[in-house]
Structure 1
Amino acid sequence: MLRVVLIDDERLALIQLESTLRALGSTIVTATYTNPLLAMSEAAGWEADIIFLDIDMPGLNGMEAAKQLEECCPGSAVVFVSAHNTFALEAFEVSAQDYLLKPVSRDRLSRTLQRIRSRKVNQEQTDKPDSLLIRCFNAIQFERGGVPIRDFRWRTSKAQELFAFLLYHQDRIVVKDKLIELLWPEVSFKRASTHLYTAIYQIRQSLKRADIGLVISNASVGEGYMLESGDTQIDAVLWEEGVVSLDPVDDHNVAEHEELLKLYTGDFLGDYEYLWAESERQRLRNLSLQHATELADYYIVKDNITKAVSTYQRIIELHPYYEPGYLALMEFYNRLGELSFVQEQYEKLRSLLWRDLKLAPSAKVERWYANWKRLYT
């Protein structure tokens, strides 16, 4: 639960915000103030995760209050709440975590809480020298305190897939019958049960040897298993929470969107041919493509061609069959006068589609390229 303090000289606004927070059920409102001067005098004892602060208050301006809070409450996230958006730029200059307009909607407030909660968890993990992170983009890898655990070994490929499946269903019971059907469908039930027991034992031993404190418990009176994640972080989960909680790209959060683009390094369990993971793989891939193209569109609107080009280069690196990405790069390179790069992108797309899919580029790409060739050859 997040500990929250509310400061607003309008009592009705305080009541409404507190009511909305209580309805969301993920916070504890530890103090409310209508007098900002009194609030500042007591701030050092709050230990708050979030401070919701009105800007236009008598006696002490919210901006000045925020500067004081940076000193006396360095671990607290400040969120400004105002009836006007005229102070937004100034608010972010004093390290505000968010800027909400009154009346604050429940959905908007929920996104703010989720974002701050994710940052808090990430920071806590960073601060712990023994914190465990499991990477699932491309291959399964373990990190402790930001350092890869390189001596980890799986005994068998079945043990690795079993762990991956339990990880995908983290903190949920997976019945034995489902695991047997997935991993040993052509083996007798008795023999498959032995294989399952052996694989679970191998996983537990591998985790123990690497000093990885994950627990795989027998659940449902021995009829299933559950991977207890505890405070372990998973990169795919952290990435998706970040994408979902962030507002659309703007001048204030573009850096966070760029960091999320870097975090998505490849498909979910992409190095393994697990058919059961394909739907999740495709779902995250689509979310990644949507997020990256929104970031590229932002740079196009800002006429930042260099950033737009680098973003689209990243897009086709992660999504090599995404034709609109190649077409966008061809158009950008043409605007920059880099004609050889236009040719290179077209040839790259054409060769890839034919080699892997026995397809030609779409009619839209072919028309654009044909028109371009008539102008420049």
Structure 2
Amino acid sequence: MKTILIDDEPLALAYLEKLLEGIPGITIVGKYSNPRKALESLKMVTPNLVFLDIEMPETNGIELAEYIQEELSDVKIVFITAYDAFAVKAFELNAVDYIMKPVKRDRLIETIRRLPNIETKITEQSDSIMVCCFQQLSFCMNRDDELQPLDVHWRTFKARELFAFLIQHRNQPIRKDIILDLFWPEMDWKKGFSQLYATIYQIRKTLRTLNINITISSVENSYKLTLNEVLLDVDVWENELNELSTISNETLPKYQKLIDLYIGDYLALDDYIWAEGERERLRGMWLQLMKKVTDYLVFRGNYSGAISLYHRIQALHPYYEDSYLMLMILYESLGDRPSIEQQYSNYTKMFMNEYGLKPTGKIKDWYDKWKMENK
């Protein structure tokens, strides 16, 4: 059954698509956040089924449904809305169903089973939504172990940052006055609390739109965020890291997988000051992981593999001095003199930019000794 989706909220559109993709007999042939584009493609696509949001800024969904049925009389329409005020009018149009947001999978399955020529056997989905904090805050669809970012619209930057703050302090109560002092330090308490309540409302609304089961509860003058069954990339990464066995040829792929999952420092692009402690902690764990793997690769004589990893360290952390020394040592093992010179030049520039000084210490001593031996 050819199906199109129409909803002006991209996040709700993406989530509805995810739910429908796991249902036999449903083939999504178009999804539109712009009702005009949906109408333009209607005759070309000729759908059998339309999932249609009612509250849209340009065109009321009821009016849009009337036009669709005029053009394609056999099309089935399912209305999706956050309000029940249009229920009577919707069923006057002979709608298949009228589903309230947030859409639940069981409720959607019930609707699909009412349609003709649809198999009643519903398969379980392997997809899930994950909150991601490596590199920057985002929501990702975990589809067959591959993370696909979702386009999430935050009404304000403050709402996004407060959500990230609550994620960092997940499963523990954070006093409201502490949040006020951090996020609205210059406001008096009355205005500050008003801003706090409005921002929490915005966060909850975003989560409802995504249909993600994260709860933010108010308990004894505190807020507490609970992930429930929702995954967090940081937790998944750290748990798998703690379960690693001794590195060997057999376990090396697991080590490499965790290296790859660390796509950037914790909330690095967001650069929240309050996240620096957690950022340093996770970075230290990643560097220890990298050291284990590079040491093993060197032990096995895989110098090129170790060199590749040290370059990754430099790309993420150019101020990690040991990477320059280790790369020079590895390049010496390969007899690559130009690369040694390049590494020392890069180190000298980094040191001058960071400290305003010329290099001293073990890296300079190593380079001077190497230079003397290779005149």
Structure 1 equivalent of residue 277 of structure 2 = 279
Match of 1:264 among 262, 265, 274: 262
Distance 1:299 1:145, change over 3 A: closer
* Structure-2 separation of matches of 1:175 and 1:268: 24
Structure 1 gap ranges (5+): 1-126
* Structure-2 separation of matches of 1:271 and 1:311: 22
How many residue pairs end up in the alignment?
249
1:216 maps onto 2:215 in alignment? yes
1:298 maps onto 2:288 in alignment? no
Q: Is the 8 A contact 1:299 1:305 kept in 2?
A: yes
* Structure-1 separation of matches of 2:213 and 2:374: 61
* Structure-2 separation of matches of 1:165 and 1:196: 13
Structure 1 equivalent of residue 343 of structure 2 = 345
Structure 2 equivalent of residue 162 of structure 1 = 162
Greater fraction helix:
1
Shift of 1:256: 0.6
TM value normalised by structure 1: 0.62
Q: Match of 1:137, as an amino acid?
A: F
Match of 1:144 among 141, 146, 152: 141
* Structure-1 separation of matches of 2:139 and 2:203: 14
Structure 2 gap ranges (5+): 1-123
Judge which range, 359-368 or 283-292, deviates more: 359-368
Q: Is the 8 A contact 1:333 1:339 kept in 2?
A: yes
Distance 1:285 1:149, change over 3 A: closer
Shift of 1:171: 2.4
Deviations 1:311-360 (A, max 9, x none): 22222223221111111111111221221111111111211221233243
Q: Is the 8 A contact 1:216 1:225 kept in 2?
A: no
- SS of the equivalent of 1:271 reads coil
Deviations 1:273-310 (A, max 9, x none): 32221111111111111111011111122122122212
- SS of the equivalent of 1:327 reads helix
Shift of 1:136: 0.4
Q: Is the 8 A contact 2:213 2:227 kept in 1?
A: yes
* Structure-1 separation of matches of 2:189 and 2:366: 59
Structure 2 equivalent of residue 316 of structure 1 = 314
Structure 1 equivalent of residue 26 of structure 2 = none
* Structure-1 separation of matches of 2:228 and 2:162: 19
Shift of 1:219: 2.5
Q: Is the 8 A contact 1:267 1:285 kept in 2?
A: yes
Shift of 1:373: 2.3
Identity among equivalent positions (%) equals: 35
Shift of 1:149: 4.2
* Structure-1 separation of matches of 2:137 and 2:207: 13
Q: Match of 2:219, as an amino acid?
A: S
Shift of 1:129: 4.0
* Structure-1 separation of matches of 2:346 and 2:352: 10
Distance 1:360 1:231, change over 3 A: farther
The 4+ residue runs of structure 1 with deviation greater than 6 A are none
- SS of the equivalent of 2:265 reads coil
Structure (1 or 2) with the larger CA radius of gyration? 2
Distance 1:272 1:201, change over 3 A: same
Deviations 1:130-181 (A, max 9, x none): 4011110110111123353443122222111100011112222222112112
